[in-house]
Amino acid sequence: MNIVVCIKRVPETAEAEIKVDSSGHDIIKERLTFDINESDNYALEEAVLLKEKLGGQVTLVSLGESECEEVLRMGLAKGADSAIRIDSSEFGELDSAKTSEILKSVISKLEFDLIFTGCMATDDGYSQVGPVLAEMLEVPHGVLVTKVDVADGKATIHRELEGGLIEVIELKLPAVCAVQTGINEPRYASLIAIRRAAAKEIKVLKKEELGIEEPTLRLNIDTLFPPPVGKRAEIFDGSPDETGAKAAAMFKEKGLV
């Protein structure tokens, strides 16, 4: 079982103060910390679990500059066998289609039974790379995957739908799975594994080595801006009965009950 896992280094913004930079097209990242994209971490763990069960190899692929090698090495420490970094510095602005085309140019030359991506990148929230990559490779795919079983050349997957529903489908291998968070419990890397990973070679591919023309940018960011601040709370004065009646009236007026 040969599995390719696409991972991305992203800024951690959940508890940080975010400001738009002077270009209006990105955020200021100098004081932010970076880590592996959350759902990519679950995808990596699922790949390693399948390798431990069925044998095979796990290959990590990341599109980024030299800093993303830190998340590749952590992936190697968690059980991946090899890692490839595609140097993004020569590609300029990236969108999901352009990213997928670059990833496809590398992954199509690898032997793979499954490709795992995260279901969404926390920095842009597009949720498109997995499906677009599958279409470019002309293989079946599933998104928001919460369970994967592999047997007889097929992957039986559970995928999350709206309203808490779960769909079970079969994908003929090779296939792409965009993994949902919560599918497993990602492991921590041991100190010994981290030291071993630090000595492993990460293959770096430049633009001229990919054999493709400049991919087309299909999505342009016009401008970024923080959402406007509106009324955040309304405080009711009075006794418990009075405030309860006011709250009930407000819920009814806004159509909540």
Per the CB < 8 A criterion, the answer to whether 151 and 157 are in contact is no
Residue 19, classed as helix, strand or coil, is coil
* 227 preceded by a cis bond (ω within 30 of 0): no
Residue 247, classed as helix, strand or coil, is helix
Helices 96-107 and 129-137 pack at an angle, to 10 degrees, of: 50
Asked if residue 246 belongs to a domain, the reply is no
Kindly list the distances between the CA atom of residue 200 and the CA atoms of 49, 83, 197, in Å, as whole numbers in the listed order: 21, 9, 5
| Cα gap 72→8, rounded to integer Å | 9
Instruction: State the first-to-last Cα distance of the chain, in angstroms, to the nearest integer.
Output: 52
| Cα gap 23→238, rounded to integer Å | 49
What is the per-residue pLDDT for 59?
98
pLDDT bucket at 226, cuts 50 / 70 / 90: confident
Asked if residue 222 belongs to a domain, the reply is no
Q: Which domain holds residue 113?
A: 2-209
Per the CB < 8 A criterion, the answer to whether 38 and 181 are in contact is yes
Asked if residue 82 belongs to a domain, the reply is yes
Per the prediction, the chain carries an average pLDDT of 92
Asked if residue 226 belongs to a domain, the reply is no
> Residue 104 belongs to a domain with what CATH number?
3.40.50.620
65 phi and psi angles, rounded to 5 deg: -90, -175
Mean pLDDT of 49-68: 96
**Number of domains, the chain:** 1
Asked if residue 218 belongs to a domain, the reply is no
For the segment 237-248, what is each residue's pLDDT rounded down to a tens digit?
Answer: 889 999 999 889
Mean pLDDT of 65-86: 96
Mean pLDDT of 149-168: 94
What is the per-residue pLDDT for 218?
80
Asked if residue 149 belongs to a domain, the reply is yes
Asked if residue 14 belongs to a domain, the reply is yes
Q: Which residue has the higher pLDDT, 23 or 115?
A: 115
Tell whether the model's pLDDT for residue 19 goes beyond 80. Answer: yes
Mean pLDDT of 41-69: 97
Asked if residue 123 belongs to a domain, the reply is yes
